[in-house]
């Protein structure tokens, strides 16, 4: 089993949705023995998309191969109904230097603002994890990015629960920090009442290494992905209902870290952390999240020049936010169809809006919004290193807004059923609709 990063060009075709175009193109390119873990359109032209993807390639003899045979991306299911409660999804893409969300947990205030406008807000760990802080509102559901993609593709449902039993795997590269980690687990148990005693140390180092894509995205690779999957399987066999992990991330230089702190470079570790959790999500359909063990002994130091980065300097294991999130993360329910989803399970049928940065409309959430005709609220005040805007994607159901304050207002209007047109000026006059026979008189018809 091997992790690869690939870049390709996919020709657009006729009236096909962007999701259908990318699905078909990747399916033809990757074949049956390769699973797409992460992907994004990084450049959109009238006749083709440039796509960057992280994949896992396996052989029939691999012990976890069967878990990667079904690719939700290749079989998206359309919304069957418009269901209650009113659910919105917020996306903060990882590894692209978001202005809100490019640092540990600095998108949490806008997350909670959006949550105040809806019944339920679904988001991913990147939006709210902040070392020892996780201040997400009660109606925020914490769903790992790959599971969130498959939720929007109609293959997973979300079941809210009171608590999860958490198992943790530990990369042996970081054993020098084991006391910090065990203290985090025990403090979470005794102070937070979180069930998180289970943990295991991997036999081999994972080999987690950062990389940079041609588009400048933070990506990476894992040399021993089977070790992650073996550890998750072991913890689940002992009763774990959610999986957390900590590992040392290699390849970060002092120059990279300094440029990240100054807001000039994406978080170097964000992309490879997503690969780790995407593997677990795809294979086991359980809540999962990850934290980096210190990779910066001689390059991190302390700083106070950027308040948005402050959370990265208040903890050694960075893990309590993960435990707090996983403790009440929604359970993942595999769905056979969208027509008869159990009433207590949330599905894409409930999703009434998706909110994301205006320059990142090339990921699966944006493509799914177009596929389902779900309003896609694109926030201009959250720029990234990408330039995949709606001017290039041409998605009909995009609502562009300046800020998250405006996005919250749009969510409130959608939730209350108030026409957005009625909230703008000028208001266009009512439009008359004619049948073809009204427009073109029939020859020989009596007056």
What are the pLDDT digits (tens) for 80-105?
999 999 999 999 999 999 999 999 99
- Please name every residue paired with 88 in a beta bridge, in sequence order, or none if there are none: 121, 353
**pLDDT given at position 298:** 52
**pLDDT given at position 300:** 60
Cis peptide before 85 (omega within 30 of 0): yes
Q: What is the pLDDT of residues 28-62, one digit of tens each?
A: 999 889 999 999 999 999 899 999 999 999 987 88
- Is a pLDDT exceeding 60 seen at residue 444? no
Secondary structure of residue 350 in the 3-state scheme = helix
Higher per-residue confidence, 358 vs 253:
358
**pLDDT given at position 14:** 75
Secondary structure of residue 352 in the 3-state scheme = strand
User: Mean pLDDT across the chain, nearest whole number?
Assistant: 93
- When pLDDT is cut at 50, 70 and 90, the band that residue 258 belongs to is confident
**pLDDT given at position 16:** 86
Q: Are 29 and 48 contacting, i.e. CB atoms less than 8 angstroms apart?
A: no
Q: What is the average per-residue pLDDT within 121-135? A: 95
What percent of the chain has a predicted confidence (pLDDT) above 90?
82
- Is a pLDDT exceeding 90 seen at residue 226? yes
- Is a pLDDT exceeding 50 seen at residue 443? yes
Q: What is the average per-residue pLDDT within 411-418? A: 97
Q: What is the pLDDT of residues 165-177, one digit of tens each?
A: 999 999 999 898 8
**pLDDT given at position 302:** 66
User: In which residue are the tokens 């990015």 written?
Assistant: 145
Q: What is the average per-residue pLDDT within 301-305? A: 68
Q: What is the DSSP letter of 172?
A: G
- When pLDDT is cut at 50, 70 and 90, the band that residue 114 belongs to is very high
- When pLDDT is cut at 50, 70 and 90, the band that residue 441 belongs to is low
CA dist., res. 9 & res. 221, Å (int): 22
**In Å, what is the CA distance from 290 to each residue of 186, 218, 320, 439?**
18, 16, 11, 62
**In Å, what is the CA distance from 367 to each residue of 16, 149, 306, 321?**
12, 10, 34, 30
* Cα atoms in the 13 Å half-sphere on the side-chain side of 275: 31
**pLDDT given at position 51:** 97
Q: Are 223 and 209 contacting, i.e. CB atoms less than 8 angstroms apart?
A: yes
Question: What's the chain's length in residues?
Answer: 447
- When pLDDT is cut at 50, 70 and 90, the band that residue 304 belongs to is low
- When pLDDT is cut at 50, 70 and 90, the band that residue 447 belongs to is very low
Q: What is the average per-residue pLDDT within 344-360? A: 98
Q: In angstroms, how far is the first alpha carbon of the chain from the final one?
A: 77
Higher per-residue confidence, 262 vs 436:
262
**pLDDT given at position 305:** 78
**pLDDT given at position 59:** 85
- When pLDDT is cut at 50, 70 and 90, the band that residue 446 belongs to is very low
CA dist., res. 232 & res. 269, Å (int): 21
Q: What is the average per-residue pLDDT within 295-301? A: 57
Give the range among 134-148, 237-251, 302-316, 407-421 with minimum mean pLDDT.
Answer: 302-316
CA dist., res. 293 & res. 276, Å (int): 14
Q: What tokens appear for 278 in the block?
A: 């995407």
- Is a pLDDT exceeding 90 seen at residue 255? no
Give the range among 193-202, 211-220, 259-268, 273-282 with minimum mean pLDDT.
Answer: 259-268
Secondary structure of residue 357 in the 3-state scheme = strand
User: In which residue are the tokens 């991913």 written?
Assistant: 124
């Amino acid at each position: 089993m091997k992790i690869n990063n690939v870049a390709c060009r996919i020709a657009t075709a006729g009236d096909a949705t962007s999701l259908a175009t990318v699905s078909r193109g990747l399916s033809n390119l990757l074949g049956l023995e390769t699973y797409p873990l992460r992907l994004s359109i990084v450049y959109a032209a009238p006749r083709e998309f440039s796509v960057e993807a992280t994949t896992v390639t396996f052989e029939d003899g691999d012990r976890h191969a069967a878990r990667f045979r079904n690719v939700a991306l290749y079989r998206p299911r359309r919304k069957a109904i418009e269901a209650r409660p009113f659910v919105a999804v917020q996306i903060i893409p990882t590894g692209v230097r978001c202005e809100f969300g490019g640092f540990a947990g600095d998108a949490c205030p806008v997350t909670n603002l959006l949550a105040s406008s809806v019944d339920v807000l679904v988001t991913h760990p990147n939006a709210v994890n902040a070392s020892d802080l996780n201040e997400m509102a009660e109606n925020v559901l914490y769903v790992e990015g790959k599971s969130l993609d498959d939720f929007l593709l109609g293959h997973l449902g979300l079941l809210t629960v009171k608590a999860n039993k958490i198992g943790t795997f530990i990369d042996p590269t970081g054993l020098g920090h084991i006391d910090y980690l065990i203290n985090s687990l025990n403090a979470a148990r005794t102070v937070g009442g979180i069930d998180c005693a289970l943990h295991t140390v991997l036999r081999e180092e994972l080999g987690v290494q950062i990389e940079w894509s041609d588009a400048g995205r933070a990506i990476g690779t894992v040399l021993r992905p089977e070790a992650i999957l073996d550890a998750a399987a072991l913890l689940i066999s002992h009763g774990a209902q959610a999986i957390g992990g900590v590992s040392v991330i290699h390849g970060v230089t002092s120059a990279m870290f300094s440029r990240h702190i100054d807001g000039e470079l994406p978080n170097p570790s964000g992309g490879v952390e997503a690969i780790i959790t995407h593997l677990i999500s795809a294979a086991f359909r359980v809540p999962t999240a990850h934290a980096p063990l210190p990779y910066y002994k001689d390059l991190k130091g302390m700083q106070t020049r950027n308040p948005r980065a402050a959370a990265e300097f208040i903890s050694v294991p960075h893990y309590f936010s993960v435990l707090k999130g996983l403790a009440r993360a929604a359970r993942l329910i595999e769905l056979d169809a969208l027509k008869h989803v159990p009433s207590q399970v949330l599905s894409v049928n409930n999703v009434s809006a998706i909110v994301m940065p205006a320059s990142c409309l090339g990921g699966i959430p944006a493509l799914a919004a177009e596929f389902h005709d779900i309003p896609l609220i694109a926030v201009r005040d959250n720029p990234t290193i990408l330039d995949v805007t709606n001017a290039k994607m041409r998605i009909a159901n995009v609502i562009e807004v300046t800020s998250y304050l405006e996005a919250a207002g749009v969510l409130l209007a959608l939730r209350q059923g108030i026409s957005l047109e009625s909230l703008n000026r000028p208001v266009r006059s009512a439009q008359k609709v004619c049948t073809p026979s009204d427009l073109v008189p029939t020859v020989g018809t009596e007056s």
